[in-house]
Amino acid sequence: MAARILVAGIGNIFLGDDGFGSEVVRNADLSPDDSGVRVTDYGIRGMHLAYDLLEDWDALVLVDAVPSRGNPGALHVFQAEHDDPDHDSGCDAMGVDAHSMDPQAVFASLRALGGRLPYTVVVGCEAGSVEEGMGLTDPVARAVPRAARAVEEIVAALRIPMGRELSREDG
C-alpha cells in the first residue's frame, strides 16, 4: 500500500519572506492526480492543518520560513521529533515560528483533538525579512526552486515502500 503524504506550506504572504512555504508548494512539481499525496497551502490556518492531520497520514512535509541565523536563503531540511508530547518538535530548534502559525501550537491542537503526529520532515528557509509587505527577498526567492526540488525528492523517497530501496534484485 502506498504511503499517504501531506505536504503543507505555511506562512503569511503579507509578511515578506514568511510567504516562503506558500511559494514553494505552488512551485513543487507534484501531481494533483496522485491520491497518496495532498499538497496544500495552509497559510496561517493552523487549525485547518490540525484538523487535516486527524486523517491517517504516514508523513507530513512541512514547508516554512525560519528565522535567519545570518544566512538568508539558506535551506534547512530536518526531521521533526515529536514522540514525547512534552518535548519540543525540533521545529523550535530552528525557530519555526516567524509568524502567527506556530507548528508547536498545531501539534498541541492535534494532540488535544486525539490525533497522532505522523513522521514529519521540515523544509525551512532562513528568512531575510518578515516585515509587512508582499514578496520574497532575493535570497529567499532564489531558494524557492531548490526547496521545491527538495520537497519533490522527499516525497519520492517517502513513497518507496520500506525495505524496497535495499532490494535491487528485480533487475
126 located within any domain: yes
169 located within any domain: no
CATH classification at residue 48: 3.40.50.1450
133 located within any domain: yes
22 located within any domain: yes
What pairs with residue 79 in β-bridges? 121
Residue pair 28/7 in contact by the 8 Å Cβ criterion:
yes
How far is Cα 66 from Cα 128, in angstroms, rounded to an integer? 9
43 located within any domain: yes
171 located within any domain: no
pLDDT per residue as tens digits for the range 19-38: 999 999 999 999 877 889 99
15 located within any domain: yes
- For the cut 60, the answer to whether the pLDDT of residue 76 exceeds it is yes
**DSSP symbol at 64:** E
| pTM, to two decimals | 0.82
Tally of structural domains, the chain: 1
* Closest to 89 (Cα-Cα) out of 64, 55, 119: 119
Domain membership of residue 140 as a residue range: 5-86+94-159
If you compute the radius of gyration of the chain from its CA atoms, what whole number of angstroms results? 16
167 located within any domain: no
The values of phi and psi at residue 15, to 5°, are: -125, 55
How far is Cα 75 from Cα 136, in angstroms, rounded to an integer? 15
The pLDDT > 90 percentage for the chain reads 61
pLDDT per residue as tens digits for the range 90-148: 444 444 443 456 777 888 888 888 999 999 999 999 999 999 999 999 999 999 999 99
Order of strands, edge to edge, in the sheet holding 37-43? 37-43, 5-10, 59-66, 119-126, 75-80
